[in-house]
Amino acid sequence: MLMNKNRVLLFVKVPPPLTGATIINKQVVDSELLKEYFTVRSIQISYSNEVSKLGKINLKKILIFIKLIYFLIFECVFYYPKIIYFQLSPLGKAFYRDLLFIFIIKIFRIKILFHLHGKGIKRVSEKGTLKIIYKFAFSNSEVICLSQNLKSDISNVYNKEVHILNNGIPNYKNTFKERDFSKSNDLRINILFLSNLLVSKGIIDFLSVMRILDKKNIEFNAFIVGAEGDMAEKALNVEIDTYNLQKKVKYLGPKYDIEKHEIFEKSDILIYPTYNDAFPLVLLEAMIHGLPIIASNEGAISEIIINEVTGFIVNKGSPDEIVNKIEFLLKNPELFKSFQYASRARFIENYTIEQFEMKLIRIFLKVSKIHYLK
C-alpha cells in the first residue's frame, strides 16, 4: 500500500472542556488554509464536559476510549494518511492511554507529528523504565513544541530537530481602549485573573495580592473569570470572605466570546501567578486588548512577555513582588501607557492565527517530504 503524501489525519482533543490545548486543536481542525494544502480528516476527542472532571476515570470515558480505538484503526486501514497529527498528553494516566494509540499507529508505520501542549516529561524521565517508554513513543516521529523554552523538556527522550510553533489566536479589534492614569480622576485599577479555577494557576496567590493591596489602601476592583476546577466557586468565595474582600473581588464565572472580550476591555491589567503552564493563551488574549501583564516565570511566559516592556516577569509564589510591580505602574502612568501599546504590538507581530496557520502548514509540508523509513 502506497502512502498519499497529501493525506493528514488530525487526532486531537477539542472542546469541551475549554482549555488552551483544545482551543488550539479546534483551530487546526477548522483551518481552511490547511485544507488547501492537504486532504484532511479528523478524529475529534472530548472525554469530559468539565475541567474539574479531567483526569478522572469513569465508564463514559472508557466507552469513548474503546470507540476511539475503533475509529483510529478504521482510519489507518482505509484512509492510510501520510501523517497523523497527535496532541499527546505528556504525563500520568492520560499518557498511558495515549500510548496505546501510539502503538496502533506504529503498527501501521504511519508518521506521527506530535504537538506537545504540556510539559513535565523531563522531570519523570530522567532514568528507568519511563525513559525507555518515552523513547519508544517518540521514535520515528516528529515533534512540535510551543517555544524554545520547552525544547529541553524532551531532551532526555528525543534527539532530533524539534519544530517550534508559538500559539496564535484570532484578533478581536484593531484598536484598544487606552487607560491614562495621569489624566484620570479615577485611580482605581481594574485587575483581572482569567483562568480555570485551579490552584496550579495561582488563584490563591492572586487573592493574597488583593489582600496586600487592600491593606495598603490601594483602590482596585478585581475580576476573577473562569470555570470551576480543583477549586469550586463555594471554596473561592470562602477565601474571598476570609480576606474580607467581598466588595472589591468579584467571581464572574466562566465567560466566552464577546462576554470575555468585554471583561478584558473593562480591565487595566492581567495578573497571572501560575505555577504550571506551557504557553497560556490568556496572555495572548490580554495582549490583544493592550493589557500590561504580570506573570510568573513559567514555561514559555518569559518568551511571550518582554520583561519591563510589555509587562513584568516575577518569581513563582511571590505576591509581594506582584504588588510592588502594580504600585510601580500606578506611580509611572507614562510607563503604563507604553506597556499597553507594546503589549498590543507584540501580539500583532507574533501571535495572530494567520501566523500560526502558516507556520503549521510549513511544518506539515516539511514533515510530509520525510519518508517513515530512513
pLDDT for 372: 38
Delimit the domains of the chain by residue range: 4-169+353-368, 189-350
Asked if 223 contacts 250 with a C-beta cutoff of 8 angstroms, the reply is yes
Of 153-167, 178-192, 301-315, least confident by mean pLDDT is 178-192
Question: Where is 234: in which H helix or E strand?
Answer: helix 233-242
Q: What is the mean pLDDT of the chain?
A: 92
Percent pLDDT > 70 in the chain is 93
Asked if 267 contacts 285 with a C-beta cutoff of 8 angstroms, the reply is no
CATH of domain 189-350: 3.40.50.2000
Q: What is the mean pLDDT of residues 228-244?
A: 94
pLDDT for 374: 36
pLDDT for 49: 73
- Give the confidence band of 5 by pLDDT, cuts at 50, 70, 90: low
Q: What is the mean pLDDT of residues 237-242?
A: 95
The residue ranges of DSSP E strands in 101-183, in sequence order, are 111-115, 141-145, 163-164
pLDDT for 1: 37
> In this predicted model, what pLDDT tens digit does every residue of 44-72 receive, in sequence order?
999 877 665 566 778 888 999 999 999 99
pLDDT for 126: 87
pLDDT for 175: 65
Percent pLDDT > 90 in the chain is 86
Q: How far apart are alpha carbons 331 and 182 in whole angstroms?
A: 9
- Domain 4-169+353-368 and domain 189-350, same fold? Reply is yes
Q: In this model, does residue 186 exceed pLDDT 70? A: no
Q: In this model, does residue 356 exceed pLDDT 50? A: yes
pLDDT for 18: 87
pLDDT for 2: 39
CATH superfamily of 4-169+353-368: Glycogen Phosphorylase B; (3.40.50.2000)
If one counts every other C-beta atom within 10 angstroms of the C-beta of residue 63, the result is 10
How far does CA 89 lie from the centroid of its chain? 13
pLDDT for 97: 95
Closest of 334, 217, 323 to residue 271, by C-alpha? 323
pLDDT for 53: 59
Closest of 276, 272, 226, 275 to residue 91, by C-alpha? 276
> In this predicted model, what pLDDT tens digit does every residue of 265-298 receive, in sequence order?
999 999 999 999 999 999 999 999 999 999 999 9
